[in-house]
Amino acid sequence: MKGLILGCSISAGTHKLDHSNPLGEVVDNQIGWYNFLGISNLVVYSFPGGGYLNYATLLDKINISKFDYILLQESFEPRFLLTNNDDFNYTKANDIDHYTLKDSCKTISIRSEKETTDNQLSFARFAVAYISSINKPCAMFHCRRDTNQFNYGNIKVLDVKPSIDEVIYKNPNYHNEMYMELGPWQQGGQIIGHPTLEGNKAIGELVSKPLQEWLKTI
C-alpha cells in the first residue's frame, strides 16, 4: 500500500544544533520518524509552522486517489499558517518522497498557544471536519496531550503516547536545547527544540505498531 503522511516541522526531518542559524537548528530532510515505522512506499508533506489548516488545503489540491491511506501527525494546534502558494523542497531517500514547504511561501503564521483565538480554533475544526469527510482511510496520532479540542469523526486516533510531551521533551538526548530571545517554546529564554535522530527513532517506534495494526483493518 502507498501511504501519505502529513505533518509540521516535527515531520520535516532530523534537526541538529547550529548556532550560526538564526533559528538555532538545521534540518536534514532525508531522515525523519517515518523512516523508523518499518513501512515503505511513503510520501511525506511537512509544513513547518503549519497544521490541520494546511493539511486540509493540500488534500483539497492533490490527487489522493493514488494513496491507500493517510496518516496525520497532529501539530501544536490550533495553528494558523497562510501561504501565497504551495512550493516545496523535494528529497527522496529510502523509498520515501518528502516535500517540505519553503519558508518563502509563508505570509501569516500564528503558532504560539498564547495567541490562540476562538476563530483560529474554528478554522482548525473546519479543517479536521473536512479531512474526516474525505473518502480515504485516515489515522492520526497526538504529539501533545489531547485537549479534546476536536471531533475527529472518521479519522482513526491511534493509541500512541503523546510523543512530544511524554517522550521527546523528557529525554535530553531526544531533542535540541537552545537559548533564544524569542521562540514558540520559550521558557526563560531556554527553548526545547525539535527531535534529534534518536528522538525521531523514538517517535517511529511509538507509532509503528499501532499504525501497522490499523493498516491490517483497512
The highest-level CATH class for domain 3-215 is alpha beta
Strands 156-157 and 138-141: parallel
Residues 7-46: tens digit of each pLDDT: 999 999 998 888 787 677 888 888 999 999 999 999 999 9
Low-confidence winner among 21-30, 42-51, 63-72, 147-156 (lowest mean pLDDT): 21-30
pLDDT-based confidence at 188, cuts 50/70/90? very low
Residues 152-179: tens digit of each pLDDT: 999 999 999 898 888 888 888 999 877 5
- Sorted by where each begins, the domain ranges of the chain are 3-215
Residue 144 sits at the vertex; the CA angle it makes with 153 and 98, to the nearest 5 degrees, is: 80
DSSP states of 33-84? GGGGSS--SEEEEE-TT--HHHHHHHHHHS-GGG-SEEEEE--SSS-EEEES
Give the count of alpha carbons within 13 A of 101, CB side only: 27
